Structure 1
Amino acid sequence: MALGLTRSELAGRAGVGERTLADLEGGRRSSVETYLLVRRALEEIGIVFLHALPGAGPGFTLPEGWAGNDLIMPRKTRRGMRKSDRD
């Protein structure tokens, strides 16, 4: 997972099964309760969910001070961004 959590870790934090979390991630039918449990677990690690704006869908912000990882944040070299990340 992009936040450095495995599916198993997030499922444990949310109090849901891994398969239930996989169903939610895959867009399969999930209960509102499951959605809220997972959302609360993400909010507890610092994720802030944002409302949709005109012309843009809903989104989220990452925890303050989050260093990132390669799935979301491109790595920097001594000279700046890797060439493949600048294109």
Structure 2
Amino acid sequence: TVRSASSVLLPGVPATISLEQARAVILTVEGVQSLHELHIWQLSESKNITSVHVLAACKLNFMPIAVQIRRALHDQGIHSCTIQPEY
């Protein structure tokens, strides 16, 4: 439909995703102190993606934090994400 095509062509937060809920879910991950530059958009009718900058508590091992963020976002309907760690 025109509506679904326009949501892909005109980037914006998909209607099925809550930006504030995604932000809240990321902040519940242990080791995340804060976040900014959270962007969520619809890549196709079935794929939502995000990018986010995360201030992490520990720079020694960010990967477990990133895995938990990805899992939390997947539960929100976001299936691909780019996470920029900051310390």
Same fold (TM over 0.5): no
Select the structure of larger CA radius of gyration: 1
Give the structure-1-normalised TM-score: 0.36
Indicate the structure whose relative CO is greater, using CA pairs within 8 Å and at least 6 residues apart: 2
Greater percentage in strand: 2
Give the structure-2-normalised TM-score: 0.36
